[in-house]
Structure 1
């Protein structure tokens, strides 16, 4: 016969593992979104620089 507290401990371990996996996935998604936003900002900056260079080359010097 197994004491009842052993079942509670086992259930706690299962719940803890589930929460760890869930939190890991959420953090990974947040990190992915952040990296994607940074990439978009970088690409916009490159486009602006490209336009500035193009405008600078076209103007009479």
Structure 2
């Protein structure tokens, strides 16, 4: 009997975890999108600054 109870507890935990995961993705995807945009902005800003520096120094940028 204890093995069956343990199994049922695990199934219950699994279903609770699954139910809690249904709430999380919206918040996570918004946070991910925000951090992704920050990373893209930072990379493009660094690229732009490098191009400006190369133009200022009259170097070729390809």
> Which residue does the alignment assign to 1:23?
36
- Structure with higher RCO (Cα < 8 A, 6+ apart): 2
TM-score by length of 1: 0.61
CA distance in 2, matches of 1:32, 1:4: 41
- Cα root mean square deviation, aligned: 2.2
Q: How many residues align?
A: 44
| Structure of greater Rg | 1
- Runs of 4+ with deviation above 4 angstroms: 3-6
> Which residue does the alignment assign to 1:33?
46
Greater per-residue helix proportion: 1
> Which residue does the alignment assign to 1:53?
none
Stretches of structure 1 that go unaligned for 5 or more consecutive residues are 47-61
